[in-house]
Amino acid sequence: MSEFYSLYRLVWAGLMAALISVGAFISIPLPVSPVPITLQDMFLALTGLILGRKYGLLALLLYLAAGTSGLPVFSGGKGGVAVLLGPTSGYFLGFALVVLAAGWVRRRSLWLAGIVVFIATMVMLCMGALRLGHFMDISPMQALLVGFLPFIPGSLFKVPAAIIIYKSMREHQLGPK
Q: Which of 67-71, 108-112, 150-154, 169-173 has the lowest mean pLDDT?
A: 169-173
Read off the pLDDT of residues 35-82 as tens digits, 9 standing for 90 and up: 999 999 999 999 999 999 999 999 999 999 999 999 999 999 999 999
The full DSSP string for 71-103 is: -S-BGGGB-SHHHHHSTTHHHHHHHHHHHHHHH
Specify whether domain 2-171 bears CATH 3.60.150.10: no
Residue 124, pLDDT score: 98
Residues 92, 67 contacting (CB under 8 angstroms): no
Band the pLDDT of 176: cuts 50, 70, 90. Answer: confident
Residue 3, pLDDT score: 72
Residue 42 identity (one-letter amino acid): M
Residues 94, 125 contacting (CB under 8 angstroms): yes
Name the pTM for this structure.
Answer: 0.94
Read off the pLDDT of residues 25-34 as tens digits, 9 standing for 90 and up: 999 999 989 9
Band the pLDDT of 1: cuts 50, 70, 90. Answer: low
Is the per-residue pLDDT at 4 higher than 70?
A: no
The C-alpha angle with vertex 118 and arms to 102 and 43, in degrees rounded to 5, equals 55
Please report, for the chain, the start and end positions of each structural domain, with discontinuous segments joined by +.
2-171
Band the pLDDT of 105: cuts 50, 70, 90. Answer: very high
Is the per-residue pLDDT at 21 higher than 80?
A: yes
Q: Which of 156, 158, 130 is nearest to 42 (CA)?
A: 158
